[in-house]
Amino acid sequence: MNAQARDRLVAVARDLLAHAREQTTPLASGVMELDASVYTDKDRFERERTLIFRRLPLMLAASCELRAPGDYKAMDVAGVPVLLVRGRDGVARAFLNICTHRGSIVADGCGNASRFMCPYHGWTFDAEGALVGIAGRADFGDVDMAAKGLRPFPVLEKAGLIWAILDPASTLDIGTFLSGYDAMLEGFGLSTWRVLESRTLKGANWKLAFDAHLDFYHLPVLHRNTFGPRISPKAFYYHWGPHQRLTRPERPENRVIPDHANLFGMADAAESDWPAEALMLGEWILFPHVSINSFYDGGRGILISQIFPGDTVDESWTVQTYLMQDEPDEAQRAAALRQAAFLAHVVADEDLPMSIRQQRALESGLLPAVCFGRNEGGGQQFHRWIERIMETDDAGLDILFRDGLNE
């Protein structure tokens, strides 16, 4: 983590501690009304899949999911088949997971491979995406093999995370989009972490599913039987471009956090002595679809939640991936797995059923608008950025993100 990124984190911590001492809470300037059709309109949904999920950098994997050369992960992202693979040179790449011969899917699932052979006609590609074999080549005819490799997507690997833009022709600068957020994420040191487990959960419209990650207001009500009715509903929001961080003005309830990671226990220490781990607590929102949360059961861990739109306006998929900083022993692994299962229960049995109920209600078409309160600044910020991006052409995206950082 560079000095500028640490200065940003220290500024947030300083502000948070000041509000805690004064028992004040910063609020948005007003209540925001949002047309309810943003969750139900089919044409808008298709535009979102194109203008957001095929134009913006998406965080598709943690680096430790592709730890070794040849490690790969195939996935469907808003209707685009994607193959992530770490090459023999150690570079993470993303490709359109479609054979350049006749359009078959090349790879499924995840694993390790030096070659990917199309299951239809046997064309073979290497881990760098090059076409290296054509079955029955003498009979097939002339082919420019160099021009028939897998189609690559723009990729950036930073802070132990891998971003890709699902448009091979995109010229958007991923660094500009990240707005320095990646430098702060370096504070986790994720490049050396390890995957504990992963699961996929079905939900309603992708924005309804993601809205639940953007406030603490619902915690003591919707999650009263899991987190408890006394958990604080207050959240502080800090943003850098379209990305933001939620944190709270006190030590989180019902969370096992060691003293060295408890910012509120070191408020009297010199700022230069504040450890990075204490500065990283809170929920990190990677626009447009990822949330990262810290946990300590069984050792330091994080839950990465990736929300992807499904095939229809009323469908989304939440991919939960739990990472651990250190290799756990048997007892630690059991504790971490219990924590991961608890978080899956909270989302699968509380958050996502609520979003499905919202979806059904909103599809009646009789509620013209929903609203986000002054205490729901994260949702306000998220939906404002969606609208701005939907209204911006390809050529203006770099300018939009560069200017957005200075707001």
Query: At which of 118, 141, 171 does a domain end?
Result: 171
- Average pLDDT along the chain: 94
- Note the pLDDT of residue 20: 84
Query: At which of 171, 195, 229 does a domain end?
Result: 171
- Indicate if the pLDDT at residue 334 is higher than 90: yes
- Indicate if the pLDDT at residue 255 is higher than 70: no
Determine if the pTM surpasses 0.85: yes
For range 9-15, the mean pLDDT: 92
- Note the pLDDT of residue 407: 57
- Note the pLDDT of residue 250: 64
* Band of pLDDT at residue 58, cut at 50, 70 and 90: very high
Q: Return the DSSP state at 348.
A: I
- Note the pLDDT of residue 252: 52
Q: Nearest to residue 238, comparing CAs of 228, 246, 230? A: 246
What are the phi and psi torsion angles at 45 (to 5°)? -60, -45
**Helical axes 397-404 vs 377-390, angle rounded to 10°:** 150
- Indicate if the pLDDT at residue 254 is higher than 80: no
Distance CA 164, CA 8 (A): 26
Assigned token pair, 104: 């078959």
| Residues 125 and 271 reside in one and the same domain | no
| Residues 111 and 99 reside in one and the same domain | yes
Q: Which structural domain, as residue segments, surrounds residue 249?
A: 3-54+176-404
- Indicate if the pLDDT at residue 253 is higher than 60: no
- Indicate if the pLDDT at residue 251 is higher than 70: no
For range 18-24, the mean pLDDT: 87
- Indicate if the pLDDT at residue 405 is higher than 70: no
Q: Nearest to residue 66, comparing CAs of 131, 162, 143, 173? A: 162
Q: Which of helix, strand or coil describes residue 264?
A: helix
Q: The domain that contains 379 carries what CATH number?
A: 3.90.380.10
- Note the pLDDT of residue 406: 60
- Note the pLDDT of residue 88: 95
| Residues 167 and 182 reside in one and the same domain | no
Q: How many CA atoms lie within 13 Å of 266's alpha carbon, on the beta-carbon side?
A: 19
Assigned token pair, 172: 């958007």
Q: How many domains does the chain have?
A: 2
* Band of pLDDT at residue 90, cut at 50, 70 and 90: very high
- Note the pLDDT of residue 270: 87
Query: At which of 126, 154, 171 does a domain end?
Result: 171
> What would the pLDDT profile of 272-295 be if each residue is shown by its tens digit?
888 888 899 889 999 999 999 999
Share of the chain above pLDDT 70, in %: 97
- Indicate if the pLDDT at residue 173 is higher than 90: yes
| Residues 123 and 25 reside in one and the same domain | no
Q: The domain that contains 150 carries what CATH number?
A: 2.102.10.10
> What would the pLDDT profile of 102-126 be if each residue is shown by its tens digit?
999 999 999 999 999 999 999 999 9
For range 133-155, the mean pLDDT: 94
